[in-house]
Structure 1
Amino acid sequence: MKRRIYLMTAITMVALAFTACGGNTENNKSSNASSASGSVVSSTKDNVNTAALDFNPSDYIEKLGNYKGLEYEKVDTGATDAEIEERVKAFLKNYPKKITDREIKNGDTANIDYVGKKDGVAFEGGTAEGYNLNIGSGSFIQGFEEGLVGKKPGETVDLNLTFPKEYHSEELKGKAVVFMVKINYILGDTPKELTDELVKANTEFKTVAEYKADIKKRIEESKKQESDEQIRRGLIDKIVTETAIKSVPKELEDKFDNQIKDYWNKVAASNGLEMKDFIENNLKSNEANFEKEVRSQANTSARRLTVIRAIADAEKINVSEDEYNEALNKYYESSGAKESMELSEYEKQVGKENLINLLLHDKVGEFLLQNGKEVTK
Structure 2
Amino acid sequence: MRKRFMGVMLAAVLATSLVACSKGTKKAEEVSSKNTAITAEEYAGTIKTNADIYKKYVNIDSASYMNREIELDTSAYTVTDDAVETQIQTLLEQLKETQQVTEGETKENDVINLDYSGKLDGVAFQGGTATSVSYTVGSGQFITDLDQGLIGLKVGQTYDIPCTFPSDYSSSDLAGKSVIFTVKVNYIEKEIIPELTDSFVAENASTLGYEGCTTVDELRTAVKASLETQAQNSLVQAKASAVYKLATDGLEVNDYPEDELNQLLDTLNKNIETEYNTYGSYYGITDLETYIKTVYGFESQDAFNDYATDYAKTYLLEKMVYTIIAADNDITVTADEINDQGAQLANQYGYDDYNAILTEYGNEMNAEIGYNCLYANVAKFLSENCTIA
TM-score interval w.r.t. the shorter chain? 0.5 to 0.7
Larger proportion of helix:
2
Quick check: 2:261–2:313 contact (8 Å CA) kept in 1? yes
Quick check: 1:31–1:50 contact (8 Å CA) kept in 2? no
Of 331, 337, 348, the residue aligned with 1:317 is 331
In structure 2, C-alpha distance between the alignment counterparts of 1:371 and 1:340, rounded to whole Å: 33
> CA-to-partner distance for each residue in 1:294-332, whole Å, 9 max, x for gaps?
111122222222222221221122223332233223222
In structure 2, C-alpha distance between the alignment counterparts of 1:372 and 1:90, rounded to whole Å: 35
Hey, what does 1:249 align to over in structure 2? 257
Quick check: 1:87–1:215 contact (8 Å CA) kept in 2? yes
Of 57, 63, 68, the residue aligned with 2:66 is 68
Where structure 1 has 5 or more consecutive residues not aligned to the other structure, the ranges are: 1-8, 17-23, 109-134, 139-149, 151-185
How far is 1:62 from its partner?
4.2
> CA-to-partner distance for each residue in 1:271-304, whole Å, 9 max, x for gaps?
2354212211011111111111111112222222
Hey, what does 2:266 align to over in structure 1? 258
Hey, what does 1:284 align to over in structure 2? 297
In structure 2, C-alpha distance between the alignment counterparts of 1:332 and 1:318, rounded to whole Å: 23
Quick check: 1:25–1:263 contact (8 Å CA) kept in 2? no
Please list, as runs of the form range in 1=range in 2, the aligned pairs for 1:125-274 lying within 5 A after superposition: 136-137=133-134, 190=192, 194-203=196-205, 204-272=212-280, 274=287
Please say which of residues 45-54 and 346-355 is displaced more in the overlay: 45-54
Quick check: 2:19–2:371 contact (8 Å CA) kept in 1? no
In structure 2, C-alpha distance between the alignment counterparts of 1:258 and 1:39, rounded to whole Å: 17
Report SS of the residue matched to 1:245. coil
The alignment yields a C-alpha RMSD, in angstroms, of 4.4
Where structure 2 has 5 or more consecutive residues not aligned to the other structure, the ranges are: 1-6, 104-110, 114-131, 136-155, 157-187, 206-211
In structure 1, C-alpha distance between the alignment counterparts of 2:328 and 2:354, rounded to whole Å: 41
Report SS of the residue matched to 1:243. coil
In structure 1, C-alpha distance between the alignment counterparts of 2:366 and 2:41, rounded to whole Å: 17
Report SS of the residue matched to 2:296. coil
Please list, as runs of the form range in 1=range in 2, the aligned pairs for 1:91-130 lying within 5 A after superposition: 91-93=91-93, 107=112
Q: 1:317 to 1:39 in 2, by over 3 A?
A: farther
Normalised by the size of structure 2, how large is the TM-score?
0.58
Of 378, 381, 385, the residue aligned with 1:364 is 378
Quick check: 2:57–2:253 contact (8 Å CA) kept in 1? yes
Q: Which of the two has higher C-alpha Rg?
A: 2
Quick check: 2:97–2:191 contact (8 Å CA) kept in 1? yes
How far is 1:217 from its partner?
2.2
How far is 1:67 from its partner?
1.4
How far is 1:95 from its partner?
6.0
Residue 234 of structure 1 aligns to which amino acid in structure 2? Answer: A
Residue 363 of structure 1 aligns to which amino acid in structure 2? Answer: N
In structure 2, C-alpha distance between the alignment counterparts of 1:69 and 1:239, rounded to whole Å: 11
In structure 2, C-alpha distance between the alignment counterparts of 1:94 and 1:299, rounded to whole Å: 40
> CA-to-partner distance for each residue in 1:98-131, whole Å, 9 max, x for gaps?
989x99xx958xxxxxxxxxxxxxxxxxxxxxxx
| Identical residues among aligned pairs (%) | 17
Quick check: 1:61–1:245 contact (8 Å CA) kept in 2? yes
Residue 48 of structure 1 aligns to which amino acid in structure 2? Answer: Y
In structure 2, C-alpha distance between the alignment counterparts of 1:107 and 1:360, rounded to whole Å: 53
In structure 1, C-alpha distance between the alignment counterparts of 2:304 and 2:324, rounded to whole Å: 30
Quick check: 2:57–2:255 contact (8 Å CA) kept in 1? yes
Q: 1:94 to 1:15 in 2, by over 3 A?
A: closer
In structure 2, C-alpha distance between the alignment counterparts of 1:249 and 1:287, rounded to whole Å: 24
Residue 378 of structure 2 aligns to which amino acid in structure 1? Answer: V
Quick check: 2:239–2:382 contact (8 Å CA) kept in 1? no
In structure 2, C-alpha distance between the alignment counterparts of 1:75 and 1:296, rounded to whole Å: 31
Q: 1:48 to 1:354 in 2, by over 3 A?
A: closer
Residue 66 of structure 2 aligns to which amino acid in structure 1? Answer: K
Hey, what does 1:83 align to over in structure 2? 83
How far is 1:360 from its partner?
2.2
Quick check: 2:79–2:224 contact (8 Å CA) kept in 1? yes
Quick check: 2:17–2:264 contact (8 Å CA) kept in 1? no
Q: 1:300 to 1:10 in 2, by over 3 A?
A: closer
Hey, what does 1:59 align to over in structure 2? 56
Quick check: 1:28–1:352 contact (8 Å CA) kept in 2? no
Report SS of the residue matched to 1:344. helix
In structure 1, C-alpha distance between the alignment counterparts of 2:369 and 2:190, rounded to whole Å: 47
In structure 2, C-alpha distance between the alignment counterparts of 1:361 and 1:45, rounded to whole Å: 16
Hey, what does 2:43 align to over in structure 1? 48
In structure 1, C-alpha distance between the alignment counterparts of 2:99 and 2:44, rounded to whole Å: 61
Please list, as runs of the form range in 1=range in 2, the aligned pairs for 1:2-17 lying within 5 A after superposition: 12-13=10-11, 15=13
